[in-house]
A and B are shown apart, each in its own frame.
Chain A
Amino acid sequence: PFKRYVEIGRVALVNYGKDYGRLVVIVDVIDQNRALVDAPDMVRCQMNFKRLSLTDITIDIKRVPTKKTLIAAMEAADVKNKWENSSWGRKLIVQKRRASLNDFDRFKLMLAKIKRGGLVRQELAKLKKQNSS
């Protein structure tokens, strides 16, 4: 029934607040609602579980590791690549890219979409012709 657990080493995404969009590792559990959370580029802090979305990725660490061991464990488990290749991670990257388009990019995007639509319709027309004949 449950696949993603709050455990030491679980990688989570922050979905509210100042650190929105950051990947953090649950390093210890304070109590029912809060966890001690750490990431390579931030000070270790406490976060409410309401602000975290658990991911499928876990890393192998003991309770409250030092920053060095944490970074080493994250490299060993290859968190960055696993995240960027997962469907959730890819969707977030695409969202970011779309949000950062400038007007010229959007123009290029429009042309590309029209071209793709045209090609699809050509193929469809060919298939229709084949079927009707």
Chain B
Amino acid sequence: MVTYKFHQYQVVGRALPSETDEHPKIYRMKLWATNEVRAKSKFWYFLRKLKKVKKSNGQMLAINEIFEKSPTKIKNYGIWLRYQSRTGYHNMYKEYRDTTLNGAVEQMYTEMASRHRVRHHCIQIIKTATIPAKLCKRESTKQFHNSKIKFPLVHRTVRPPTRKLKTTYKASRPNLFM
């Protein structure tokens, strides 16, 4: 199984009860972070932007990791994000085909870094959803919605089966035909 860098967490927290507010509202967020500590920190970051509460006058009630329900089923994920470019904030919608949501989120982060030079801390995930095939918007995901998909592997790179067997010089030229 592939190890994913980003894990999905469900974080639940509220402000501390005070004399004016005996039972403050409890808030729950689903976030992506590399570990639990970061997830809690992200939770307070987002909650500060929505309510007047900080980590010092709030309490964490629960943090649970959310695991993928069907990791062997291929799904189309749509991710809505808000990112900071060199000139301002923009919204974006991206689609990915993957087996797990964590995999799709990791794809999104690497793609944003490569295509738009956006580092991971400048990206906020607004919403993620599994999209049924009919509602996919991007051609690059729609081209795989074919039950009789068939294509050749055009350029075969010959790799040694372990890195130990890698040598700088080879006796003969490789055969690139599959």
Contact = CB atoms under 8 A, between A and B. Distances in A.
Interface of A: 2, 4-8, 15-16, 20, 28-31, 36, 43-46, 49-50, 53-54, 62-64
A53 B159 CA distance: 11
Given A6-B151, A44-B72, A64-B74, 6 more contacts: A2-B154, A4-B178, A6-B149, A43-B72, A46-B99, A49-B153
B152 interface: yes
B40 to A, nearest CB: 31
Contacts of B7: none
B69 interface: no
Interface in B8-24: none
Interface in B136-150: 141, 144, 147-150
Interface in B120-178: 141, 144, 147-154, 156-157, 159, 161-162, 178
A115 B107 CA distance: 61
B37 interface: no
Contacts of B159: 15-16, 50
A46 B148 contact: no
A54 B72 contact: no
A5 B147 contact: no
A4 B150 CA distance: 10
B147 A50 contact: no
Given A16-B161, A45-B72, A30 B153 contact: no
Contacts of A30: 74, 97-99, 144
